[in-house]
A and B are shown apart, each in its own frame.
Chain A
Amino acid sequence: MNSTELPPLYADKPASVAPTRSWPKRLGFYALNAAIMFHLIAICAAPVSVSPASELEQSLWVSVSPYVQLLYQNNGFHFFAPNPEGAHTVIYTVAYEDGSTEQGKFPHRKIWPRLLYHRHLMLSESLASMEGERRERMIRDFAYQVCKDHEAQQVTLSLLRHEIAFRERIIAGGSLFDEDLYQEIPLGTFTWADLSATSSENSVATATK
């Protein structure tokens, strides 16, 4: 049924905002259309620019990134892609002033609610995916936070990678928690004195920026 076939009452009530009448309205209508188009392109640009991406996709991303970044729409949505991989846990040993030590890790099952557990899991996963200087800075930040939480004098950090057990292993009597599935990557030992000094420098640097 077209609107032209409708009784006059309905024909007089347009279902859409048509670009008619005064030029400011017409201009506004075109601007609205352009904005919609731009937004649609922008939200597509983030996922398509995930590597591997063509030069066209990359340049599209560069063009729209200020907009999508401002609105936090810059997500690739590649959940569990390309493959679900093993998880990472940060394990630490803290040493107190009296010489005693304590071991711990994050994330751990006692973190509640579950949302907070996932926040910690994302931290360790982010660290695992990082490289270079930023990784080193993140490790120092983790060390600082662990020391601060435990009021410890020293902390030794490691990243524990837990590989996924294949189905065949389980059927053959193995477990998800077999020792050979774990790989410990040492991250370093840090003293509170060193960390707090760096922290002050960082604070000053941040304030200056």
Chain B
Amino acid sequence: MGRLISHLFREFGSHCNEVAKAWNKFWFTPRDPYALCVIRCLVGWMAFYTILVWGIELEAFFAPQSYNSAAMIQDHFTNVEGPYALSFWTWVPTEWMYQVHYLSLGIAFCFMIGLFTRVTSVLTLIVLISYAYRARFANYGLDQIVTILTLYLCIGNSGEYLSVDRLIKRYRIAKGKIYAGLGLWKISRGPTATVATNIATRMMQFHYCVIYMAAGLGKLFGETWWDGTAMWRGLAISEYQTFDMTWMAYYPWATDFITHLTIAWEVAFAFLVWRPLTKNWMLLLGAGMHLGIGLMLGMWTFATCMIFGYLSFYEPEKVHAFLRYFRDLIFNSEQKMVEVVTSSAHSMNTAALKKTFDVTDRLVLVVDGSPPDFDQEQAGSIHADSVLPAISRLIMLDHDTKLFQKFDQAIQKTRIPFSCVSSLNQLQDAIEQSPDSIIIANLENFSDQEVQDYLGSILPLALKFYPSVTLLRSSQAHWLDKISTEDYQRILIQPCDGKDVLAELQRALHFYNDQFPDVNRQVPRSFFAQQQAPRETVPEPTSFQGPIDTVFE
């Protein structure tokens, strides 16, 4: 009996330990804030627009005597909702209303563009809450969701990307480098993944689950959601209608189906959105439903704002890759431009400013009168094919060498020693022989078991010193969710052509640099050992201060 109890205790303890580990992993794994920053731009715009629209009838909604008088609102909060519904409008005299409104607009605008984001995010939250509580009876779902998203944007580092704050940082770094007489081709970020960002993202995700679950369960009280007529009733409210949807009365099966689908989706969302297989379907259905609300009921603002939050369910790298695709379509980042900066203050400031806005890193700055080891000719010859950071060997795993043939020529241009292997065993041998190699693994034609072996055993080995580019079929991507690799190891690249592989390799290197800036300083060692000097005479990593440098914040 005693043994049984002790066994049960041990099992229970082990289970609790597993739960704690899962909890910690869920909440405290650092996350890159890119997706949160995109949400900030979108929600910031919505907050700004909402406040802007309030301004059209500011006095009618916010004056002490208006559609809802201040006395009535105050009485409502004191006696019904509770006394903690605070709004700065309570203390704003009538003659200061417009000044306060313009200030609020300014704050929301700064939040949208990411200026002093840490401060303006909190201020925007205060503004939104104040407007919402003062005009309590003119609120609807839009005010709720904007406030919810803004709250979480205050917690995460939502000003790290796509922000004026970022541009200011870039300018300071560029100026510092140029004034120090150093050239510059890329301003890279330091580590950006934070626990706070992850907590904010997770809370956003969880809140969405609560919203949809509450909406779904609330509907289950109504008989029209059971008999299938609810959707027709929604469409038949002429006060909401954007279009005349009366014709839907002749297709009862359609409105019945949408009614049942809505309920099923809302109740299932909280369970299925976490599963890789169903996540996209859940979000796609949700987006469809919200767009339908926008189209039929004219609630575009609410509908789009709900969809903005869906970005939190995607890995920041995927959001980044998606937007980068469009960025690259607009800005051709293939050609590098080299600009020699003279020692005059005007030239250096102008160059720093140019580099600040050079988000695709096309501009290579070379400072005139730079250190003696500076090789002007080398700098002048920089072009797309030679900007791959320092690596000693590149090993490619390609089952049928099709991909290898595709970009063999492109790799040759990089002048990096290169070899191709066709099996996992060969790859493992190659890594053991040359541990400081970069691996490009094309797993498109490998079996699921081999993909699992690669991700579970070889990838960690390959990632020991350098990032790795892994090409997977979309259908294989679920393996990444099954194994417990950390986010920073998930350099997932979907099938792409040879040109993209180079770009993705670069991206992987930069991502790696961001995650391990200290380790990264060792990266040039072998490269310079090979290119310039014997290994024994290689300077300490921290002393590498080439005139053309990647800067870490």
Binding site for B on A (CB under 8 A): 1-3, 5-7, 9-10, 13, 15-18, 33, 36, 39-40, 43-44, 47-48, 50, 65-66, 69-87, 89, 107, 113-123, 126-127, 134, 137-138, 141-142, 144-145, 149, 162, 164-167, 170-171, 175-177, 199, 202-203, 205-206, 209
**A84: which B residues are within 8 A, CB to CB?**
224, 230, 233-234, 237
- Shortest distance between the CB of A127 and any CB in chain B (Å): 8
Contact yes or no, B76 A134, CB < 8 A: yes
- Distance (whole angstroms) from the CB of A88 to the closest CB of chain B: 8
Known: A65-B82, A70-B84. A119 touches B61 (CB 8 A): yes
In the complex, which residues of chain A have a beta carbon less than 8 angstroms from the beta carbon of B53? 113, 115-116, 119
Query: Is the pair B24, A17 in contact by a Cβ cutoff of 8 Å?
Result: yes
Q: Chain B 356-371, CB within 8 Å of chain A: the 1/0 string?
A: 0000000000000000
B133, B195, B225: the one within 8 Å of A72 (CB): B133
B230 closest partner in A (C-beta): A84
Say whether B69 contacts A77, CB under 8 Å.
no
Given contacts A117-B298, A119-B138, contact A16 B65 (CB under 8 A): no
Contact with A along B448-468 (1 / 0, CB 8 A): 000000011000110110000
Cβ contact within 8 Å between A44 and B210: yes
Residues of B within 8 A of A77 (CB): 141, 144, 210-211, 214-215, 218
* Partner of B69 from A122, A126, A199 at Cβ < 8 Å: A199
- In the complex, which of the residues A15, A76, A117, A202 contacts B486, with contact meaning CB atoms closer than 8 Å? A15
Distance of A202 Cα from B84 Cα, bound (Å) = 21
CA distance A72 to B301 in the complex (A): 19
Interface flag for B372 (CB, 8 Å): no
Q: Is the CB of B456 within 8 A of A1?
A: yes
- Nearest A residue (CB) for B240: A87
A123-B137, A141-B68 known; A18-B24 Cβ under 8 A: yes
Please tell me which one of the listed residues A43, A118, A141 contacts residue B299 in the complex, with CB atoms under 8 A apart: A118
Min CB gap A146→B, angstroms: 9
Contacts of B68 in A (CB 8 A): 123, 138, 141
Query: Within 8 Å of chain A (Cβ to Cβ): is B322?
Result: no
Identity of the chain A residue whose Cβ is nearest the Cβ of B125 in the assembled complex: A71
Which 6 residue pairs are nearest across A and B when measured between Cβ atoms? Answer: A82-B222, A47-B214, A78-B218, A81-B218, A87-B239, A126-B137
How far is it, in angstroms, between the C-alpha of A209 and the C-alpha of B237 when the chains are bound?
41
A127 to B68, CA, bound (A): 10
Q: B138 to A7, Cβ gap below 8 A?
A: no
State the CA gap A17–B193 with chains docked (Å): 13
B144 & A82 in contact (Cβ 8 Å cutoff): no
Cα(A24)–Cα(B460), bound, Å: 34
A-B contact pairs, 16 of them (CB 8 A): A6-B460, A15-B25, A36-B203, A48-B214, A76-B218, A78-B219, A80-B219, A114-B301, A115-B50, A116-B53, A137-B69, A162-B238, A165-B236, A177-B238, A199-B65, A206-B64
Q: Which of B188-247 contact A (CB under 8 A)?
A: 195, 199, 203, 206-207, 210-211, 213-215, 217-225, 229-230, 232-234, 236-240, 246
Task: Verify if B8 is at the interface (C-beta below 8 Å from A).
Answer: no
Chain A residue contacts of B133, Cβ below 8 A: 72
The answer for the CA separation of A97 and B86 in the assembled complex, in Å, is: 40
Asked whether B267 is an interface residue with its Cβ less than 8 Å from the other chain, the reply is no
> Which residues of B lie under 8 Å from residue A65 when comparing CB positions?
82, 84
Q: A1 CA to B199 CA in the complex, in Å?
A: 23
Sort chain B's interface into a size bin.
35 or more
B24 contacts which chain A residues (CB < 8 A)? 16-18
Contact A137–B75 (Cβ < 8 Å): yes
A141 touching B66 by the CB < 8 A rule?
A: yes
Asked whether B66 lies within 8 Å of A72 as measured between CB atoms, the reply is no
CB pair B222–A83 under 8 Å, yes or no, is: yes
Q: Is B128 an interface residue (CB 8 A)?
A: yes
Do A203 and B223 touch across chains, with their CB atoms under 8 A apart? Answer: no
Do A167 and B50 form a contact, CB below 8 Å, given A70-B84, A119-B135, A209-B74? no
Nearest-CB distance from A107 to chain B (Å)? 7
Give B261 Cβ to nearest chain A Cβ, in Å. Answer: 14
B316 touches A (CB below 8 Å): no
Task: Let me know if A1 and B72 touch, CB within 8 A.
Answer: no
Give the shortest distance, in Å, between A10 (CB) and chain B (any CB): 7
Extra inter-chain contacts (4) besides given A72-B128, A89-B239, A170-B236, CB under 8 Å: A47-B217, A84-B224, A119-B138, A202-B65
Are A43 and B210 touching (Cβ within 8 A)? yes
Chain B residue at minimum C-beta to C-beta distance from A52: B221
Contacts of B224 in A (CB 8 A): 83-84
Residues of B contacting A82 in the complex (Cβ-Cβ under 8 angstroms): 218-223, 225
Residues of A within 8 A of B217 (CB): 47
A17-B24, A72-B129 given; A118·B140 CB < 8 A: yes
Q: Which residues of B contact A149 (CB under 8 A)?
A: 60
A116 to B203, CA, bound (A): 30
Instruction: Tell whether, in the assembled complex, residue A87 and residue B215 are in contact, meaning their CB atoms are under 8 Å apart.
Output: no
Question: Does A79 lie within 8 Å of B141, measured CB to CB?
Answer: yes
> A143 → chain B, closest Cβ, in Å?
10
Nearest residue in A to B219 (C-beta to C-beta)?
A81
Q: Within the complex, which residue of A9, A10, A66 is in contact with B84, where a contact is CB–CB below 8 Å?
A: A66
Min Cβ gap A198→B in Å is 9
Give the distance to chain A from B43, nearest Cβ to Cβ, in Å: 15
CA distance A126 to B136 in the complex (A): 9
Collect the chain B residues with CB atoms within 8 Å of residue A70's CB: 84-86
A50 to B210, CA, bound (A): 14
**In angstroms, how far is the closest chain B Cβ from the Cβ of A193?**
15
Nearest Cβ on chain A to B304's Cβ, whole angstroms: 12
Give B52 Cβ to nearest chain A Cβ, in Å: 9
- Give complex CA distance A142, B72 in Å: 12
Closest Cβ–Cβ distance, residue B548 to chain A (whole Å): 27
